[in-house]
Amino acid sequence: MATSIVSNEELCEMRDKIVADGKVPKAWQIKDMIRVKYGKSIDESTIRGRFIEMGTPLSGITGGGAKTATPADTTVKTQRKSFSESSDIRQYVVPENMKMYIPQADEFIGYLERDIDKRLAIHYNSSKYPITQGKQGTGKTFSHMYYAFKSKLPFFLFSGYEDFKLPKLFGDKTIQNGTIIFQESVFTKAIQCPSVILFDEINAVSNSNTFDFHALLQNRELFIKDANGSVGQVYKLHKDCKIGFAQNPKSAKYIGGNIKPSNFLGRCTYITYPEFKKSDIKKTLKLRYPTMEQLDVDKFTEFYFAIVQTIERSQLPIDISIRQLNNVVDLWMAGLGLKESIEDGLSSILDAVSQSKAKDSFFRIAQAVWSELL
């Protein structure tokens, strides 16, 4: 709509109302207020630009020189602190039939919340489209799921592949009572309510199949030509539908990646996930296995990092993660012998990549850590 419909004074009043409610003013909030009042919309970038032109950005903080703190400034600073501490847990109204997709607490036994999780929450809460990237096992996928759990939002994971086509997620044609109809999928319900949708292995998708993502991210809608009796239908994203991506960097160990073009990457933000430190591994083992003796925690941690170093030094075509370490410990805690637990939970991954001879080096490392294996 023409920007003249909403005056600068009205925009400032809307911003001040948000601040008075104890919130940080965001462009999407003002966009919603305009839609409710006028039944039309203004692009978020236009709203931000209008405030900049007035010399009074949305935060209420202008550049140049010292500025006396105002109640609005204090609110912003307080809110920013709560974001950094990951304590800004918003309340979302999730339809009853979608609550079954909210992750449950028992899925996060032993989960170690890190600063990177809080960082992802800030991206999502700021209405960004984060791409989490890093080596296998650095916690990328689970971090998105953890955000959904903390926010009590339904979580949906879709894995990319070369011929992945986004429109197919919306549904497909089927025959009902002799008539061809378009059967909508759960995905269509997910995007029309508060939710978290993660596209994993996004760089496995061919670049030619990423163009539909452009409209979805830029306009928050997509036209599906087979829907509505083949007349076609535009599906719009709910304002609290959050979309994220995950990818492993292309390497000798991970060859399934396509380098994404800038017209896709330019619509996203990026978070590179670090590898777990020794202190992280020890903390998560204690959280997951609270009855485990500290000596055992130290030995499993020492074994894990010795294996990681061997893989790097020998340039073996695998990555291992805390998942494999947990597999070993789970089997051992369940009563399987230590040698068999190590083999079934970790070292036999080398059989799967035709590197069976390297298993001997893994077992020699285990012998150096546990003398009873000699």
Torsion, CA 308, CA 146, CA 288, CA 98, rounded to 10: -130
320, two tokens:
């291992």
| Residue bearing tokens 């999407």 | 28
Among 357, 361, 280, CA closest to 325 = 280
Element (H, E) at 274: none
238: left (phi over 0), alpha (psi -120 to 50) or beta: beta
pLDDT given at position 332:
96
pLDDT given at position 59:
60
Residue 127 in contact with residue 26, Cβ under 8 Å? yes
pLDDT given at position 17:
84
Residue 237 to residue 191: CA distance in whole angstroms: 5
pLDDT given at position 84:
39
Residue 272's DSSP bridge partners are 133
Provide the 3-class DSSP secondary structure of residue 272: strand
Provide the 3-class DSSP secondary structure of residue 171: strand
The Cβ-side half-sphere exposure at 165, using a 13 Å CA radius, reads 7
pLDDT given at position 352:
92
In terms of C-beta density within 10 A (0-12 exposed, 13-18 middle, 19 or more buried), how is residue 304 classed?
buried
Reported as a single tens digit per residue, the pLDDT across 201-254 is 999 999 999 999 988 999 999 998 888 877 888 899 999 999 999 998 766 666
- What is the chain's percent helix, strand, coil content, to nearest 5? 50, 10, 35
pLDDT given at position 83:
41
pLDDT given at position 163:
92
Residue 16 to residue 276: CA distance in whole angstroms: 43
Give the angle 1-23-131 at the CA atoms, nearest 5°.
75
pLDDT given at position 156:
97
Domain edges within the chain = 3-61+74-84, 96-272, 278-373
Residue 114 to residue 147: CA distance in whole angstroms: 12
Q: Cα–Cα distances in Å, from 328 out to 107, 268, 366?
A: 18, 37, 12
Ranges of the chain with pLDDT below 70: 1-4, 55, 57, 59-89, 250-256
- Pick among 2.60.40.1120, 3.40.50.300, 2.60.40.1180, 3.30.479.30: CATH of 96-272: 3.40.50.300
Contacts 24+ apart (CB under 8 A), 5-9: 5/38, 5/40, 6/34, 6/38, 6/42, 8/50, 8/54
Residue 246 in contact with residue 144, Cβ under 8 Å? yes
Phi, psi of 146 (to 5 degrees): -65, -40
pLDDT given at position 4:
57
Reported as a single tens digit per residue, the pLDDT across 330-357 is 999 999 999 999 999 999 999 998 999 8
